[in-house]
Amino acid sequence: MVPAHVVMMSVSPWVWITVILILVVVFGAAKLPDIARNVGKSAKVLKEELNDLTDDTPQATQTPPAQKEPPQVQSPTQAAPKPQSADTSTIPEQNN
């Protein structure tokens, strides 16, 4: 016994004939060669892009090149110079 999903996926010759007749009626016999040519070109481009994508994948799994450390940015508290402490010996005391 054939599984149900295999029977559903098989297409009989009558289905193909019906689909071709509908395409001829909808698009006309003159346009069908152009449509088939464009579909073929699109399939070729898709196949090339998929091959390029699979070619790029092994490169991504290789170890990445050594990364440079980003320059360290000083925070505003680190960048500002420290104020020099006032020398209290030169300031006279005030008595109130």
Q: Average pLDDT of 45-71?
A: 72
Distance of alpha carbon 26 from alpha carbon 14, whole angstroms: 18
Under the banding of pLDDT at 50, 70 and 90, the label for residue 84 is: low
pTM given for the model = 0.40
Q: Average pLDDT of 15-29?
A: 89
Res 29: pLDDT: 86
Burial environment of residue 23 by CB neighbours within 10 A (0 to 12, 13 to 18, 19 or more): middle
For residue 22, which of 12, 11, 32 has the smallest C-alpha distance? Answer: 32
CA 8 to chain centre: 35
Res 41: pLDDT: 96
For the cut 70, the answer to whether the pLDDT of residue 91 exceeds it is no
